[in-house]
């Protein structure tokens, strides 16, 4: 998932054309991203158990995660207006909250299994159920650093991409709460990183095999093994196992990798590049990005398939090995019910928003809000967790994505094209649901964030300019890029109190509500 180094001793002209090596020091290629990751980890783990209460939809996912540990499936819990179940759960006595039978759930189990990792280690405490979100949120920063380095050829720009994500408010909030979207973003990012690695690996292999033949224009070209594509298939199966919206990225990326395969063979002057991509790479693509994600997804339901008691689970065979096959019809009916739920979900919510609101941050979600008369040195204090992106990142990303459109249309830059495709795959499908008035929230846009950061650092790279540019030009460009990163840091620092439930005077809190719709 994290890019590996390309360090050939002597690259051939074909190799340099198809898959040029990533320049720079291998030491700094890892040390720089690791330093950014440590910084991101500090922000995410500091005061992770604060507030010591169940925040927003943690009331569902933290309990479901513990039920998976105990039963293997989501179990029904007490649901009463006095919040007794929440109090028992916070008191680390979750055994008293269960009622009879399995619970119908709207999302697959992968994200809840990941939350359960922290609960298994640290118990049913706020730190315990938030641990996995903080860990995988931090790890996603490292992966993005390495991915951006590979795509831009610059360790500095790679670190800048991770720095932007580390300082994004929405990423921070979802890395500090037990919701599912941070895990969806993580697996989508991992899958995309695997595909970028696969692109380089396939081109290296292709150039090596063609260099061994005096005639590079023969037939369909050689067969290429795609190990990273297999890893990507597992990642996208897990992404879909967190939320079904992960599948939209997979569909888009299947098209993308075919275009990459076709482009590689055409650049290598294979006689029939399109047929070669279909014949020599197509089977691998279907197996790794078609069959394997489905197998992975079904496997994530193992706890439900192998046990009795889950919602909709029929009679369980005494023969353990037969249970998954016996349970598949029940699982299909379960999914029909889940689809019916999602397609008819139109309950009004005070914090709901629409896809066109997300890039401009019009309507964030208040995960937690509390007023008091102590703790901030003023007569009225406020504590909030506001699920909102850092404006300096999200608003700049709008302009950066337009730059990507220019790069792709004018220069056919594969990096710009893949960024735009990924962003579209995670954003445009929600417009379909908006037409049916489906309830949606801004944090659904989190999987777009890595691609927004990639777009921004690509634009910053253009501002800085290539190494061949005059020194004065690069100094000015670097100053502009540095000033922008400083602006992001200041913007994040200013918003941090309302992202991390810090107690501040009410007037200070209100100053940070830049739009009426943020309240």
Question: Which pLDDT tens digit goes with each residue over 29-71?
Answer: 999 999 999 999 999 999 999 999 899 989 889 999 999 998 9
What's the rounded Cα separation, in Å, for the pair 159 and 156?
5
Nearest partner of 441 among 355, 373, 519, judged by Cα: 355
136, 23 in Cβ contact below 8 A?
no
Say which residue the tokens 């309830």 belong to: 439
Question: Which pLDDT tens digit goes with each residue over 243-282?
Answer: 999 999 999 999 999 999 999 898 888 888 889 889 888 9
* The predicted structure's pLDDT at residue 7: 41
How far from 127 is each of 61, 119, 169, CA to CA, in Å? 14, 8, 19
Q: Where are the alpha helices (DSSP H) in 300-413?
A: 302-306, 323-343, 391-411
* The predicted structure's pLDDT at residue 75: 87
Instruction: Kindly state the percentage of the chain with pLDDT values over 70.
Output: 94
Q: Classify burial at 510, counting beta carbons within 10 Å of its beta carbon; exposed 0-12, middle 13-18, buried 19 or more.
A: exposed
Alpha carbon 476 to chain centroid, angstroms: 33
Could you list the pLDDT tens digit for every one of the 519 residues in the chain? 333 333 444 456 777 777 777 777 888 999 999 999 999 999 999 999 999 989 998 988 999 999 999 898 888 877 665 666 777 777 666 667 888 788 899 999 999 999 999 999 998 899 999 999 999 999 999 999 999 999 999 999 999 999 999 999 999 999 999 999 999 999 999 999 999 999 999 998 888 888 766 555 568 888 889 999 999 999 999 999 999 999 999 999 999 999 999 998 988 888 888 898 898 889 989 999 999 999 999 999 999 999 888 898 878 878 878 888 888 999 999 999 999 998 888 788 899 999 999 999 999 999 999 999 888 889 999 999 999 999 999 999 999 999 999 999 999 999 999 999 999 999 999 999 888 888 899 999 999 999 999 999 999 999 998 877 888 888 999 999 999 999 999 999 999 999 999 999 999 999 999 999 998
* The predicted structure's pLDDT at residue 1: 39
* The predicted structure's pLDDT at residue 95: 67
What are the sequence ranges of the domains in the chain?
Answer: 350-519
């Amino acid at each position: 998932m994290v890019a590996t180094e390309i360090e050939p001793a002597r690259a051939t002209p074909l190799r340099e054309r198809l898959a040029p090596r990533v320049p720079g020091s291998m030491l700094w290629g890892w040390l720089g991203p690791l330093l950014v990751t440590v910084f991101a980890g500090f922000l995410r783990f500091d005061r992770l158990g604060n507030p010591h209460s169940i925040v927003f939809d943690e009331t569902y996912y933290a309990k479901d995660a513990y039920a998976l540990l105990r039963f293997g499936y989501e179990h029904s819990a007490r649901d009463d207006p006095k919040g007794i179940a929440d109090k028992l759960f916070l008191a680390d006595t979750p055994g008293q909250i269960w009622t009879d039978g399995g619970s119908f759930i709207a999302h697959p189990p992968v994200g809840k299994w990941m939350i359960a990792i922290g609960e298994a280690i640290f118990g049913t405490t706020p730190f315990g159920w938030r641990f996995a979100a903080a860990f995988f949120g931090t790890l996603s920063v490292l992966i993005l650093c390495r991915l951006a380095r590979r795509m831009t050829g610059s360790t500095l720009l790679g670190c800048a991409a991770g720095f932007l994500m580390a300082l994004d408010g929405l990423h921070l909030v979802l890395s500090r709460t037990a919701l599912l979207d941070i895990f969806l973003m993580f697996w989508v990012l991992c899958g995309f990183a695997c595909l970028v690695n696969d692109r380089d690996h396939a081109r290296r292999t292709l150039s090596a095999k063609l260099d061994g033949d005096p005639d590079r224009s023969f037939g369909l070209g050689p067969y290429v093994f795609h190990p990273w594509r297999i890893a990507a298939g597992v990642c996208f199966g897990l992404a879909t196992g967190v939320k079904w919206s992960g599948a939209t990225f997979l569909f888009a990326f299947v098209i993308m990798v075919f275009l990459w395969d076709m482009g590689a063979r055409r650049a290598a002057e294979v006689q029939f590049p399109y047929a070669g991509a279909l014949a020599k790479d197509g089977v691998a693509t279907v197996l790794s990005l078609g069959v394997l994600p489905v197998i992975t997804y079904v496997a994530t339901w193992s706890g439900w398939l192998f046990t009795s008691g889950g919602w909709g689970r029929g009679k369980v065979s005494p023969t353990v090995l037969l249970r998954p096959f016996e349970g598949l019809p029940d699982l299909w009916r379960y999914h029909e019910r889940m689809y019916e739920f999602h397609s008819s979900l139109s309950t009004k919510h005070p914090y709901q928003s629409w896809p066109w609101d997300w890039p401009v941050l019009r309507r964030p979600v208040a995960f937690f809000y509390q007023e008091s008369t102590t703790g901030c040195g003023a007569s009225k204090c406020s504590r909030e967790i506001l699920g909102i992106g850092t404006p300096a990142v999200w608003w700049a990303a709008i302009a950066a994505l337009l730059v990507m459109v220019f790069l792709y249309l004018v220069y056919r830059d594969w990096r710009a094209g893949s960024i735009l495709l990924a962003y579209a795959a995670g954003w445009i499908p929600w417009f379909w649901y908006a037409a049916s008035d489906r309830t949606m929230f801004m944090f659904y846009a989190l999987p777009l964030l890595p691609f927004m950061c990639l777009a921004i650092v690509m634009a910053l790279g253009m501002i800085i300019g290539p190494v061949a540019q005059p020194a004065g030009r690069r100094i000015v460009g670097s100053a502009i890029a540095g000033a922008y990163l400083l602006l992001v840091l200041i913007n994040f620092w200013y918003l941090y109190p309302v992202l991390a439930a810090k107690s501040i005077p009410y007037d200070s809190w209100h100053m940070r509500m830049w739009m009426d719709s943020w309240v």
